[in-house]
């Protein structure tokens, strides 16, 4: 079950950007104290900006690179265009766009195109940030779109490999931008290399 908590209208005017807090939790049965002791709760913090200009300059640049790359996406089937741009610890920016195929599973999302390209070109350089911008030819997106499950797993792999947080920026052609401080925010209770070595 998902729940969303936001600030009140009065608080929103005083706090900028404001935060969305999403909680994932198991609902215990009434009068069952044992289940309460086994409760696991996850919270995701999403900073919401009303315009690109509210971001630091380097994050604005990354978002613009992702937006420009989105225009070059090869998406003849879904008409859903996505661009991604990653910033490395050495300051380099590597971009990628979604690449579709008539045999649908053969395509690849923009996030993985960008991250795989970055790792291939700079295999020892950590990824610090990723910006993802999406748009559809058939309708207007009202809010930013988060990476799919497969992309989240890939991003988590590289964040763990590099041992540094990977900031995530999400946007569309609308002014709103979402910012998350690391991949853990969109993939709690993740499967990692540590799980492969446990007895």
For 3-54, write each residue's pLDDT tens digit. Answer: 333 333 333 333 334 444 444 434 444 555 555 568 888 889 999 999 999 9
Place domain 50-197 in its CATH homologous superfamily.
Cytidine Deaminase, domain 2 (3.40.140.10)
Distance (Å, rounded) from C-alpha 84 to C-alpha 134? 9
More confident residue, 94 or 23: 94
Work out the pLDDT band at 173, boundaries 50, 70, 90: very high
Please check the confidence at residue 55 and state whether its pLDDT lies above 70: yes
The pTM score is 0.81
Tens digits of residue pLDDT in 122-146: 999 999 999 999 999 999 999 999 9
Whether 159 is catalytic is no
Distance (Å, rounded) from C-alpha 73 to C-alpha 65? 13
How does 171-194 read in b/e, with b if 16+ C-beta sit within 10 Å?
bbeeebbbbbebbbbbbeebeeee
Say which of 58, 111, 159, 181 is annotated catalytic: 111
């Amino acid at each position: 079950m998902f729940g969303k908590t936001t600030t009140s209208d009065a608080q929103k005017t005083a706090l900028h950007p404001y935060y969305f807090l999403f909680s994932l939790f198991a609902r215990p049965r009434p009068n069952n104290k044992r289940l309460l002791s086994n409760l696991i709760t996850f919270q995701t913090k999403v900073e919401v900006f009303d315009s690109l200009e509210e971001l630091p300059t380097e994050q604005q640049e990354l978002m613009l690179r992702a937006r420009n790359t989105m225009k070059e996406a090869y998406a003849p089937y879904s008409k859903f265009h996505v661009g991604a741009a990653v910033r490395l610890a050495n300051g380099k920016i590597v971009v990628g766009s979604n690449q579709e195929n008539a045999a649908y599973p053969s395509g690849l999302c923009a996030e993985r195109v960008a991250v795989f390209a970055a790792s291939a070109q700079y295999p020892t350089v950590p990824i610090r940030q990723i910006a993802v911008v999406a748009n559809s030819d058939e309708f207007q997106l009202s809010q930013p779109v988060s990476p799919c499950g497969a992309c989240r797993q890939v991003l988590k792999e590289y964040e763990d490999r590099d041992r540094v947080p990977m900031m995530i920026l999400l946007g569309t052609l609308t002014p709103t931008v979402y910012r998350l401080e690391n991949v853990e925010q969109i993939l709690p209770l993740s499967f990692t290399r540590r799980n492969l070595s446990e007895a």
